[in-house]
Structure 1
Amino acid sequence: MSDNRTESIINLEKSFQTAFRTFRKDINDLFSDDVPANEFAVLNLLKDKDFLTASELAAEMKVSSSHITGVTDRLIKKDMITRERSVTDRRIVYVKITEKGHSVAEKLASIRHEYFKEKFSALSDEEVERMIDYLNRMV
């Protein structure tokens, strides 16, 4: 790999880190009256699927099961989710969103959408499509 490409990749890495840290901080600030972004991520998954097991949540979010346990414990205390055993297999425990959790998830999804709409407003439609393509090719 040429020195120029190596330097460019280092600069790209720094730009990604700066952008994602900024997005994370801004989103957490916007959500501060309700829930942190990691709790929103769980609510957001559940609002579309109604219920998942803890291991399914962990896999979807690409985090450990112990992380999900902590997040779900906090959301249960806030009455935003519940844990319910399967009626067919008592070993299976489902995490389900409550009406309150669904309402908060909808509200925060809208706030997040408006945030990113503003963040990307300086980009043309073509630039946005190129970014989507570039990001999808990397994952």
Structure 2
Amino acid sequence: MSDNLSLKAFVVLMKASKSLQEQVKKDISNHGMKTSDFAVLEALYHKGKQTVREISEAVLINTGSITYVIDKLENKNYVERRHCSEDRRVVYIHITEEGKQIMDEIFPKHQKVIEQMFNGVNSEELQTTINVLKRVGQKPSNQ
């Protein structure tokens, strides 16, 4: 019985994830961006300077693809690369003032879209969802 519930929970989660991703993609494209561009900018906007590897891990995109995205964002003057003064092999990606301005404009609207997706779900239910998904996501795959 619990196996059937686990399978059902998995299917519902995957369908919900797909629906949420489609809504987010549509919202971001309404602002003239691709999801990967927005994800990189959002990571830098909220966390400050990061290495390519740190960005890659934060937004779950491989480092080869992230480099391409960063190149595009750099060409738009939204981000810039700066060498670390202590170790020249390390390059940090910084959001520029122009990048901050675009995110100051876009992010609050994007946040409202996400909040609307969870309209009708109360705070307690949201916290329970967060806790359950964290536990499920932390389990080793061989269990």
Tell me which interval the TM-score lies in, with the shorter structure as reference length: 0.7 to 0.9
Aligned-residue sequence identity (percent) comes to: 26
Q: Which residue of structure 1 lines up, in the alignment, with residue 113 of structure 2?
A: 115
Q: Which residue of structure 1 lines up, in the alignment, with residue 75 of structure 2?
A: 77
- Return closer, same or farther for 1:25/1:86 CA change in 2, 3 Å cut-off: closer
Q: Which residue of structure 1 lines up, in the alignment, with residue 41 of structure 2?
A: 43
In the alignment, is the contact (CA less than 8 A) between 1:39 and 1:75 conserved in 2? yes
Q: Which residue of structure 1 lines up, in the alignment, with residue 66 of structure 2?
A: 68
Q: State the SS of the aligned residue for 1:75.
A: helix
In the alignment, is the contact (CA less than 8 A) between 2:41 and 2:95 conserved in 1? yes
TM-score with structure 1 length normalisation? 0.81
Q: State the SS of the aligned residue for 1:96.
A: strand
Q: How many residues align?
A: 137
In the alignment, is the contact (CA less than 8 A) between 1:30 and 1:111 conserved in 2? no
Q: Which residue of structure 2 lines up, in the alignment, with residue 57 of structure 1?
A: 55
1:49-83 deviation line (CA, Å, top 9, x unaligned)? 33111122112222211011011000001000111
Q: Which residue of structure 1 lines up, in the alignment, with residue 95 of structure 2?
A: 97
1:18-42 deviation line (CA, Å, top 9, x unaligned)? 323423333333322xx22211111
Q: 1:127: how far off?
A: 2.3
Q: Counterpart of 2:95 in structure 1: which amino acid?
A: I
Q: Counterpart of 1:48 in structure 2: which amino acid?
A: H
Q: State the SS of the aligned residue for 1:83.
A: strand
Structure 2 gaps, min length 5: 138-143
* More displaced stretch, 54-63 vs 91-100: 54-63
Quote the RMSD (CA, aligned, Å).
2.3
Structure 1 gaps, min length 5: none
Separation of aligned partners in 1, 2:63 and 2:121 = 38
Separation of aligned partners in 2, 1:44 and 1:2 = 38
Q: Which residue of structure 1 lines up, in the alignment, with residue 140 of structure 2?
A: none
1:91-136 deviation line (CA, Å, top 9, x unaligned)? 1211111001011122222111100122212223332222222222
In the alignment, is the contact (CA less than 8 A) between 2:51 and 2:92 conserved in 1? yes
Q: Counterpart of 2:128 in structure 1: which amino acid?
A: R
